[in-house]
Amino acid sequence: MSILRKTFRLNAETEIPAVGFGTYLIEETDVASAVRAAIGVGYRHIDTAEVYHNEAGVGAGIRTALVDNGLTRREIFVTTKLWPGAAEWGETPKTYAQTLSAFDESVKRLGLDYIDLYLIHSPHGGARRVEEWRALIDLKKAGKVRSVGVSNFTDAHINEIKAAGLALPEANQIELHPWSQKPDLVGYMHEHTIVPIAYSSLAPLSTWRAGQESAKPEAEKKADGVFATMAAKYGVTEAQLLLHWGVQNGYAILPKSLNPERMKQNLALDGFEIDAEDMDAIRKMDRGAGIAWSMGDPTKVS
């Protein structure tokens, strides 16, 4: 099956496209045209979040693209995320009622009648994590969202949900790439049928988030050429190799670009399979902690 059409099952009624279009760090003024272009070249999953402050533009881009391309709403998978409130930043974590209200506000900004996947963006809700999760379950029961999950949660955070006797998340969106592979957490997620959604797939590239405050430390920007060598072996770009690695491991991925040609390249992941020798070599590159997000670090948002 073509990766463009590949999906991962979240529940009996819902599947998430293997390749989505990420909108983190795309300004509200640019995001509508970016989303419109992304859908135009073939993306069928768009990822945003309350805290990205671009939901209105994302929704506008989706609605325009539906008309442009003769698509129905059901053909576009939309993810957004609850910002839970971080006490570490002087915020008050959201209550059950505030979580429901935040969802309604996201839907209003997006201008859509439902959301395909709604995530708790981080575990910063602290003592209210379970309360917030209960609200997401009830949103799904009410038919306002097709699937629910979390982001940046560890197995300990998910075990809180388990201990409360509640249904477990259907997905966990986390930083995953060759330098941050999280084998124990991914293994736990597979054991509990929680779909991994990878962000920052291109973090090992020297150009990743260049010029952004959230970029990796200068010491980690030096490319050692290993991915260029592997990519040349398969006749693809380094970015295509890294993205394919994610899907080959069973992760949905969320590449981002404002360049339509690069958008197309990030979807062109067919025609090769990373062999066992290279997969094993990449497995040994794991450096542990993330670059975009250290699990539980309140100073960074994915």
Average pLDDT for residues 256-275, to the nearest whole number?
96
Pick from 10, 38, 9: which is nearest to 23 by CA? 38
Q: Exactly one of 43, 52, 118, 199 is catalytic; name it.
A: 52
Average pLDDT for residues 54-71, to the nearest whole number?
98
Q: What share of the chain has pLDDT > 70, as a percent?
A: 91
Q: Which amino acid is at 190?
A: H
pLDDT tops 90 at residue 300: no
Distance CA 188, CA 139 (A): 25
CB 158 within 8 A of CB 168: yes
pTM: 0.93
To which CATH superfamily is domain 7-283 assigned?
NADP-dependent oxidoreductase domain (3.20.20.100)
176-188: pLDDT as tens digits: 999 999 999 999 9
- For residue 271, give the DSSP letter: S
**pLDDT given at position 292:** 78
Average pLDDT for residues 17-26, to the nearest whole number?
97
**pLDDT given at position 225:** 85
Pick from 134, 129, 58, 124: which is nearest to 100 by CA? 134
125-154: pLDDT as tens digits: 999 999 999 999 999 999 999 999 999 999
**pLDDT given at position 155:** 97
Is 52 one of the catalytic residues? yes
Average pLDDT for residues 8-21, to the nearest whole number?
98
**pLDDT given at position 218:** 46
